[in-house]
Chains A and B, each alone.
Chain A
Amino acid sequence: MNQQQLNSKLEEIKDKLIDIEQKAENRIFLLCEAENACAVNKFLFEDVPLRFVIATGIDSDDCFEVLYHYAYDPTGCVVTVKTFIRDRQNPSIESIAPFLPAAEWIEREMHDLLGIDFKNHPDMRRLILSDDWPEGVYPMRKDAPKPKERPDGQPSRRPTVQSQSPAQRTVRLSKPIVAVGPFHPLQEEMEFFQLTVDGEIVTDIDMRISYNHRGIEKISESLQFDQVPLLVSRICGICSASHPLAYVNAVEEIAGVTPPDRAQYVRTIIAELERIHSHMLWVGLAGHFIGYDTVFMWAWRYREPVLDLLEEITGNRNNYGNVKVGGCREDIPDELIPRILKDLDLIEKKTEMLTKAVLDDPIIHARLKGVGTLTKEDAIKYAVAGPTARGSGVAIDVRADEPYAAYADLDWKVISQPEGDVFAKAVVRLLETLESVKIIRQALKKLPKGPIDMEVKEIPPGEGCGRAEAPRGETFHYVRSDGGNRPTRHKARAPSYVNVPSFRASCIGQHIADVTITLAAVDPCYSCTERLAVVDGHSNIVHDYEALLKLSREKTARLKKEIGAPELKMEDL
């Protein structure tokens, strides 16, 4: 469908809507009342169909708004359903999670933070606030008490996955809750991922994600527009170029400005350098999980030149702070370009050798093929993004679907593989690294002269959606402004938010020796994978992360013995 056809298709649901606003060629807002929201969402997800991105809950003065954002990738259009919940005393709306599993987490989050009730949601446990957070205190509401004034409440709706420290530990089994112990919890208290197994096969998985919640969206409302990039680059250390990029795309959309060309190219180069070092990190970790420590050491060693380059350009190895509304803060000095090209040659050569070695190694084939498969249907149901999607045959990439920065001017291709297993995702990431090298080379050659920023005096009232392709997938930011110098609402969605729940689809039915590598294929943030534990439904024996890691590596050793092929050696790389 092209954009015209999409527009006419959307007309079909007009009877349920208050209005259709077309803010731009590729930005459509469908306004409706809360009662009709479920039907509209169902239509968009199933009939059109569109890909679900995220939902934003907003406390407007006279009502609550829930915005459901969808993407139509062939034309790069973002369709947002803006729902008004008029009843402020008891805000409630029909949940869309029953037919859209991708929305489960975000509805739980909106309930935690805004107090909106989602009727018929399959699993309304607390998601994002701590276990001891008092009930009835909703931090994202405008009238939320400041931290010091918060009343001490009794916590409730605790997740069933928990432990009462220090003596007892409760774990969730496939049947009733049984206490396992006694022992000293240490780092096993409150697991991040808890899997239930039957013998050696995983039957269920549960996740608890409050540890890294820092309340960034609320902090954003207290910062000025230009300070927010510095905040959001610290959402996650490895995606720290793409979050600010998505945010400034949103703000520049509101302001109706386009940064100068040189700035676009510099943004592209920094983003692609980050993609390279992030994929290298992933390759290293994946190698570590399956017992190829040479790969691990190699990958982390060849990350270093990339980090040094980023430090030369932006002043920091990891948090760049290079992007601002209207352009960039630092320029790439011309003297540096030969060195960048030289380092790129080295990285390209090593990555090509590694890719070839991976594609040829029968042990890696045996270890990773058919493991942790995420089918295309599940990939769509969970609305995954990035290499997780592209490795399952869903060829979406924001750089191609809705080109930002300089991607429209450069010649490169989207890498995707149909199989959906860990091997496919590894191949996607390796080949993408090579594509990134190509992109940077072209960008350096075509780097236009000129200023790297423009002055943006003020941000008018309005709302904007900004997207960027992070190494892990699509990063989406929604920003609303009322004409002041701070955002009134800023929603930041990292790609891992939709990728990690898909673990449920790819991990159930797998052997526990494959658990670490299956999770790694989704590429969550590093510290997430450390908090992994397995509960055996029958014998109550618990394996922790280290035991799972060992199982994973041993399986590789076993395969190695069976297949009898030589191992990848450091000298070969």
Chain B
Amino acid sequence: MSWKIWSLKKSVWVFHVNTGACNNCDIEVVDLLTPKFDVERFGIKLVGSPRHADALLVTGGVTAQAAPRLREIYRQTPKPCIVFCIGACACDKGIFTTGYHMVGPVDKIIKEIDPNAIIAYVPGCPPKPEAMISGVVKALSAL
């Protein structure tokens, strides 16, 4: 396994992106990053700029207005990076599948720019913080 991927597993800096979510997932993500769950143990840290990020925590099934923003953020994130689809909407538009304003889900938008993107799915509505940690850890160990 290349040393890049090895070190990526040990130190994951995350950036949160909301592409039209109902805020349940966002609140659980913020909950995840509070000291209660202490994700610094796993080398996870929240950063304020996609330039510093290794993983994007994306919530929301992508609305038409948010899609260009998501694409731009993905491009600005240095590779290698992992895209985590948090919640049912990000995984496959959830209950909003037939909405006329939805152009997602997240993996479709990301693959338009980068067919080889590394994408992980954490379903739930919303997924509990424990589920998110478990998803992140599983994704990292599968790399």
Taking Cβ atoms with an 8 Å cutoff, the residues of A that contact B are: 129-133, 139, 144, 147, 165-166, 184-187, 189-190, 210-216, 218-219, 222, 230-231, 234-238, 240, 281, 297, 300-301, 316-319, 525-527, 530, 546
Q: Does B38 contact A (CB under 8 A)?
A: no
Q: Does B78 contact A (CB under 8 A)?
A: no
Most buried by B among A187, A214, A235: A214
* Complex-state Cα separation, A190 to B70, whole angstroms: 12
Could you give 13 example pairs across A and B, Cβ below 8 Å? A132-B68, A210-B63, A212-B60, A213-B20, A213-B65, A234-B94, A237-B27, A300-B34, A301-B36, A317-B128, A318-B27, A319-B125, A526-B27
Contact of B65 among A211, A236, A318 (CB under 8 A): A211
Most buried by B among A147, A216, A234, A300: A234
Decide if B22 touches A133 in the complex (CB within 8 Å).
Answer: no
Residues of chain A within 8 A of B23, CB atoms compared:
236-238, 525-527
Residues of chain B within 8 A of A130, CB atoms compared:
63-65, 67, 101
Name the residue of chain B whose CB is nearest to the CB of A208: B65
Name the residue of chain B whose CB is nearest to the CB of A235: B22
Residues of chain A within 8 A of B68, CB atoms compared:
132, 165, 189
Contact of B26 among A144, A213, A526 (CB under 8 A): A526
* Complex-state Cα separation, A213 to B30, whole angstroms: 22
Most buried by A among B20, B22, B28, B36: B22
Decide if A190 touches B69 in the complex (CB within 8 Å).
Answer: yes
Decide if B126 touches A318 in the complex (CB within 8 Å).
Answer: yes
Residues of chain A within 8 A of B22, CB atoms compared:
212, 234-237, 240
Residues of chain B within 8 A of A213, CB atoms compared:
20, 63, 65, 101
Question: Provided the pairs A165-B68, A210-B63, A214-B61 are in contact, do residues A222 and B96 lie with their beta carbons within 8 angstroms?
Answer: no
Q: Does B134 contact A (CB under 8 A)?
A: no
Q: Does B114 contact A (CB under 8 A)?
A: no
* Complex-state Cα separation, A139 to B26, whole angstroms: 28
Residues of chain B within 8 A of A234, CB atoms compared:
22, 24, 94-96, 125
Q: How far is the CB of B10 from chain A (nearest CB, A)?
A: 26
Residues of chain A within 8 A of B73, CB atoms compared:
186-187
Residues of chain A within 8 A of B125, CB atoms compared:
234, 316, 319
Name the residue of chain A whose CB is nearest to the CB of B25: A237
Q: How far is the CB of B18 from chain A (nearest CB, A)?
A: 5
The digit string for B54-79, where 1 denotes a CB below 8 A from any CB of A, is 00000011011111110011001000
Residues of chain A within 8 A of B76, CB atoms compared:
184, 186
The digit string for B21-44, where 1 denotes a CB below 8 A from any CB of A, is 111111110110011100000000
Decide if B24 touches A214 in the complex (CB within 8 Å).
Answer: no
Q: Which 4 A-B pairs have the closest CB atoms?
A: A237-B24, A130-B64, A210-B65, A215-B99
Decide if A132 touches B64 in the complex (CB within 8 Å).
Answer: yes
Apart from A129-B101, A237-B27: 19 A-B pairs, beta carbons within 8 A: A129-B64, A132-B68, A139-B101, A165-B68, A211-B18, A213-B20, A213-B101, A215-B101, A218-B98, A219-B95, A237-B22, A237-B25, A237-B126, A240-B24, A281-B27, A297-B34, A316-B125, A319-B125, A526-B26
Decide if B64 touches A187 in the complex (CB within 8 Å).
Answer: no
Residues of chain B within 8 A of A189, CB atoms compared:
68-69, 72
Name the residue of chain B whose CB is nearest to the CB of A133: B64
Q: How far is the CB of A310 from chain B (nearest CB, A)?
A: 12
Contact of A211 among B48, B63, B99 (CB under 8 A): B63
Contact of B126 among A186, A230, A281, A319 (CB under 8 A): A319
Q: Does B11 contact A (CB under 8 A)?
A: no
Please classify how large the interface on chain B is, using the bins under 10, 10 to 19, 20 to 34, 35 or more.
35 or more
Residues of chain A within 8 A of B72, CB atoms compared:
165-166, 185-186, 189
* Complex-state Cα separation, A215 to B31, whole angstroms: 28
Residues of chain B within 8 A of A219, CB atoms compared:
95-96, 98-99
Question: Provided the pairs A131-B65, A237-B22 are in contact, do residues A216 and B126 lie with their beta carbons within 8 angstroms?
Answer: no
* Complex-state Cα separation, A537 to B126, whole angstroms: 41
Residues of chain A within 8 A of B102, CB atoms compared:
214-215
Decide if A139 touches B100 in the complex (CB within 8 Å).
Answer: yes
Name the residue of chain B whose CB is nearest to the CB of A140: B100
Q: Does B123 contact A (CB under 8 A)?
A: no
* Complex-state Cα separation, A132 to B103, whole angstroms: 12
Decide if B95 touches A211 in the complex (CB within 8 Å).
Answer: no
Q: How far is the CB of A139 from chain B (nearest CB, A)?
A: 4
Question: Provided the pairs A318-B27, A527-B26 are in contact, do residues A215 and B50 lie with their beta carbons within 8 angstroms?
Answer: no
Residues of chain B within 8 A of A211, CB atoms compared:
18-20, 63, 65-66
Residues of chain A within 8 A of B27, CB atoms compared:
237-238, 281, 318, 526
* Complex-state Cα separation, A489 to B74, whole angstroms: 38
Q: How far is the CB of B106 from chain A (nearest CB, A)?
A: 14
Decide if B63 touches A222 in the complex (CB within 8 Å).
Answer: no
Residues of chain B within 8 A of A190, CB atoms compared:
65, 69
* Complex-state Cα separation, A334 to B95, whole angstroms: 33
Decide if A210 touches B64 in the complex (CB within 8 Å).
Answer: yes
Q: How far is the CB of A45 from chain B (nearest CB, A)?
A: 31
Decide if B31 touches A214 in the complex (CB within 8 Å).
Answer: no
* Complex-state Cα separation, A527 to B27, whole angstroms: 9
* Complex-state Cα separation, A218 to B128, whole angstroms: 29
Residues of chain B within 8 A of A133, CB atoms compared:
64
Question: Provided the pairs A236-B22, A237-B23 are in contact, do residues A300 and B31 lie with their beta carbons within 8 angstroms?
Answer: yes
Q: How far is the CB of B22 from chain A (nearest CB, A)?
A: 5
Contact of B99 among A214, A236, A237, A318 (CB under 8 A): A214
Q: How far is the CB of A328 from chain B (nearest CB, A)?
A: 19
Residues of chain A within 8 A of B66, CB atoms compared:
211
* Complex-state Cα separation, A167 to B128, whole angstroms: 38
* Complex-state Cα separation, A368 to B31, whole angstroms: 27
* Complex-state Cα separation, A556 to B125, whole angstroms: 37
Most buried by B among A130, A211, A216, A222: A211
Q: How far is the CB of A471 from chain B (nearest CB, A)?
A: 13
Residues of chain B within 8 A of A166, CB atoms compared:
72
* Complex-state Cα separation, A189 to B38, whole angstroms: 32
Residues of chain A within 8 A of B51, CB atoms compared:
186
Q: How far is the CB of A288 from chain B (nearest CB, A)?
A: 11
Question: Provided the pairs A186-B72, A190-B69 are in contact, do residues A144 and B100 lie with their beta carbons within 8 angstroms?
Answer: yes
* Complex-state Cα separation, A190 to B36, whole angstroms: 34
Residues of chain A within 8 A of B19, CB atoms compared:
211
Q: How far is the CB of A237 from chain B (nearest CB, A)?
A: 3
Residues of chain B within 8 A of A186, CB atoms compared:
49-51, 72-73, 76
